[in-house]
Amino acid sequence: MNDASSRSTYDASNYRTPDGAPSDIVIFTIVSKSKEQGKKALPARELQVLLIQRKSWPFEGCWALPGGFCHEDESMESCARRELLEETGVQDVHMEYFNVYSKPGRDPRGWMISHAFVALVEEQQLLGRKAADDAADVRLFPVEAALSMELAFDHSVILRDALGKVRENMLTTTIAKQFLPQEFAISELYQVIQTVVPDFQEQNFIRKITSTKSRKGIIEEVYDERGERKHSNRYSQRAAQLYAFTDYAPRLSIYS
């Protein structure tokens, strides 16, 4: 039966339909692990992912990605945002759709076609929620740990794909801003990139990102009310110039 004939005789009741269209959300955050309070130093940072522990069949007791079923009156994106809000209390965050997971048999409950999103959330936003909700079944895990766990459904695969996507986007887009305050020091930016993409290394990072003509425009120096360049010594003795992302998004090309 080809498409034309199937459509010409279309009647929904003729067909087996999916049993649900869930969204699964991979929520990444970067947590700062400041070693000693007295010391003024860049805190060590770690990429973590939020997982929930399932309370019921299937995969009872297993850790899984948060998510939930799409309603008839919402789009997948709305669904994901709703679930994100319900499960973490977080809204207005960077979220993007990245893949569909539809392998037959991936969900014992039936024919479920799952839609995976990546959300990038500041640590702060999650901490508030986690304090309020003392259920032990939602927790942040270091990504490496989560990757080696056996998650429910095909969530290990989804997590791996999501991590790949975020690593790619970290280098090709300006999503680093999702993990940074509005105004930040170059060293913070560098550290965020390295936290997500461990093998990222640029020896002359400052120069490239500031004094380069081609790159110029991704970030810009921040000035205070008096027109002076704004500095901060949050993380260092010598105060560092603060920068902010601009709206400029360079267009990359392998053909340059």
Contacts of a second copy in 71-100 (CB under 8 A): 71-77, 83, 86-87, 97, 99-100
Q: Does 115 bind a second copy (CB under 8 A)?
A: yes
Instruction: Tell me which of DNA, a second copy, none is bound by residue 42, counting a contact when its beta carbon lies within the kind-specific cut-off of 5 to 8 angstroms.
Output: DNA
Smallest gap from residue 2 Cβ to a second copy (A) = 5
Pairwise CA distance, residues 172 & 250, whole Å: 9
Q: Tell me the pairing of strands 114-122 and 44-53.
A: unpaired
Only one of the segments 123-131, 155-163, 208-216, 228-236 lies at the binding site for a second copy (rule: CB under 8 A); that segment is: 208-216
Q: Does 208 bind DNA (CB under 7 A)?
A: yes
Do 124 and 90 contact (CB within 8 A), yes or no? no
Q: Is 31 exposed, middle or buried (0-12, 13-18, 19+ CB in 10 A)?
A: middle
Q: Does 202 bind DNA (CB under 7 A)?
A: yes
Instruction: Tell me which of DNA, a second copy, none is bound by residue 144, counting a contact when its beta carbon lies within the kind-specific cut-off of 5 to 8 angstroms.
Output: none
Q: What angle do CA 167, 169, 174 make, to 5 degrees?
A: 125
Name 118's bridge partners. Answer: 26, 96
Only one of the segments 39-47, 86-94, 101-109, 173-181 lies at the binding site for DNA (rule: CB under 7 A); that segment is: 39-47
User: Is the dihedral angle over the CA atoms 165, 82, 134, 123 positive or is it negative?
Assistant: positive
Pairwise CA distance, residues 138 & 184, whole Å: 30
Do 163 and 154 contact (CB within 8 A), yes or no? no
Do 232 and 240 contact (CB within 8 A), yes or no? yes
Report the residue from 44, 103, 182, 233 that binds a second copy according to the rule CB under 8 A.
103
Q: How many CB atoms lie within 10 A of CB 139?
A: 15
| Residue where the block lists tokens 């913070």 | 188
Report the residue from 10, 11, 214, 247 that binds DNA according to the rule CB under 7 A.
214
Q: Does 34 bind DNA (CB under 7 A)?
A: no
Give the footprint of a second copy on this chain (CB under 8 A).
2-4, 6-10, 12, 15-21, 52, 54-57, 66-77, 83, 86-87, 97, 99-100, 102-104, 109-111, 113, 115, 137, 171-174, 193, 200, 202, 205, 208-209, 212, 215, 218, 250-256
Give the footprint of DNA on this chain (CB under 7 A).
40-42, 185-187, 202-204, 206-208, 210-216, 231, 233, 235-241, 256
